[in-house]
Structure 1
Amino acid sequence: MAGEIAEQLLLRRCQVGVPRCRVREPTVLDHAPDYPPRTPPPPKRLNSPPRPETSLAGTARAGMQVRNRRTAAWSLEAAPWSAAKASAHVLDRLHEWGYREADTAAAALTDLLVRTAVADGGRRVSVHLADQNRQALIIALSHKPGLAVADTGVLPELTSLGAVSCGTDTADDGRRVWAVLDL
């Protein structure tokens, strides 16, 4: 079709007396396309960057303030040595906050809490620490979803180690075991 139109234009111009060298044949670019040009797809949404100062290697989120109290959290591999590592992290942070009196009780409570969370069989364990009014809250979370009702057998042992208050419960993200210690 385009070729026929070009021949007709050429014949008309030749009949009118326009020299052949001045006749320009139509090209593909002379016609606007019937469809929009292809545009690249929009860029994919990037994943949010990781939180600062958190990793599975056991570093803490330092200096975090939650309404009148300081907090710290560590994520550790669920392994037999995690209890000792968590105890060291908790003691270091308590010393940093100015509490040195309850070292043995804090270490023993943290050790038992983490051993209990590791026994649930998850891949990792989170340890959370907060202080308020010269008391420390220590929480161990097993990250093993679908566990049965929380085991209360560990509670008498926690109170014998010096916990003022303690408890355990099961949530969507695993079992939580916690204890409050007077500092």
Structure 2
Amino acid sequence: MTTPATDHTPDYPPRTPPPPKRPLSPPRPDTAGEHEDVAEGRMPARSGRRGVGMVNRRGANWVLESAPWAAGKARTAIVGQLQKWGYRPAAGTVTALEAVVTLLVDAATTDPGTRITVHLSDQEGQACILTLSHSTSLTSGHENGGDDVLHRITAHPSVSGCGTDTGPDGRRTWAVLGL
């Protein structure tokens, strides 16, 4: 006598399909026209600020307490990381690098908040150092008080560029130095 098919259980689990080889990525944001506006000196109608991101270069970052000693810790970490990457800058360049890091970190620690982050990246013999204050109580836009810091940063001959902006995640200040 045969039993109905519903009474029989298989000896092995059912086969599941394999996962997709490449997951679908979300659509890229529409940034048409933003780069032309920035190149012409006009600000785009909507904010181009997307957070800190690096593509096709080495990078490192450190989270530090917003305290007076943070500049010394950041100087040591940045010089050590550049040495790990194989850079051996001259003594004058190291002095300028340390002075710029001190200015950037001191500017970030003056903002209200409990922490700051310091970001470092390199490309073609240049280093980009960025500090983020993580202070949400600041108003967005350019503040004239930041110009003094930028003037002191550009006083160093190895600095090829610097800037600052304020957004909902805090104030970003950065400098690009030749190594």
TM-score class, shorter: 0.5 to 0.7
Matches of 1:112 and 1:67 in 2, distance apart? 26
Name the residue aligned to 1:111: 102
Q: C-alpha displacement at 1:146, in angstroms?
A: 2.9
Q: C-alpha displacement at 1:104, in angstroms?
A: 1.4
Matches within 5 A, 1:13-162: 66-101=54-89, 102-148=93-139, 149-150=142-143, 151-161=146-156, 162=158
Matches of 1:116 and 1:87 in 2, distance apart? 14
Matches of 1:130 and 1:95 in 2, distance apart? 13
Q: C-alpha displacement at 1:68, in angstroms?
A: 2.6
Q: C-alpha displacement at 1:147, in angstroms?
A: 1.2
Identity across matched positions, percent? 48
Q: RMSD between aligned alpha carbons?
A: 1.5
Q: Tell me the TM-score normalised to structure 1 length.
A: 0.62
- What stretches of structure 1 move > 3 A for 4+ residues in a row? none
Aligned length: 119
Q: C-alpha displacement at 1:105, in angstroms?
A: 1.6
Q: Which amino acid aligns with 2:149?
A: V
Q: C-alpha displacement at 1:67, in angstroms?
A: 3.3
Unaligned runs of 5+ in 1: 1-65
Residues 25-48 of structure 1 show CA distances to partners (whole Å, capped at 9, x for unaligned) of xxxxxxxxxxxxxxxxxxxxxxxx
Matches of 1:112 and 1:84 in 2, distance apart? 11
Q: Which amino acid aligns with 2:69?
A: W
Larger of the two Rg values belongs to structure = 1
The answer to which of 79-88 and 97-106 deviates more is 97-106
Taking CA–CA contacts closer than 8 Å with sequence separation of 6 or more, which of the two structures ends up with the larger relative contact order? 2
Q: C-alpha displacement at 1:120, in angstroms?
A: 0.8
Q: Tell me the TM-score normalised to structure 2 length.
A: 0.63
